[in-house]
Structure 1
Amino acid sequence: MEQHKPHYFYVLHCKDNTYYAGYTTDLARRLEEHNSGRGAKYTRLEKRRPLKMIHHESFSTRSEATKAEYAFKQLTRKQKDNYLAHYNKKNS
């Protein structure tokens, strides 16, 4: 039986105190890509690195993960802070 990789929505905290949200199937690889300057255009700027992964959620499909990413990106900064605080409190 074929094993399916999980699909992740993740949030990085940037050195300039901003957030970057994304999608991947490999969290460690993606974080390394961002920190080496090979990730998204937003994280390539030196002022944003190093980045720290502060949140991730696992989904069974790419569609679910990218919908979670999109929904997060629509939030205000205050709403993002509340989301992260609530989710991390709920799962600790």
Structure 2
Amino acid sequence: MTDLAPIMEKTHEWASKYAKKRGFILNPDEEMLHMVIEGLSRNKHEHGKQYCPCRIISGDEEQDRKIICPCVYHEHEIDEDGNCHCSLFFKV
């Protein structure tokens, strides 16, 4: 089994910077945040892309491009629901 810790650290750092830049916050629930970061990192390791862990990878590269975090859906979901579907990014 691969040690995901270095990938998770980079993913968390990226997500923090992205959230700050866009005026979002990361999930305040540390356990849930850890799970989402782990899922993103596992997808990065296993599939070479940071696919949203809450979405199904189809194998169609063009379709799957839409679900690389930050996915094409996240802004609308945050506007509508207060957070993205994966619960990584939240409205401030």
**Given the two structures, how large is their TM-score scaled by the length of structure 1?**
0.31
Higher RCO, 1 or 2 (CA under 8 Å, sep at least 6)? 1
Structure whose alpha-carbon radius of gyration is higher: 1
Bigger proportion of residues as helix: 2
Bigger proportion of residues as strand: 1
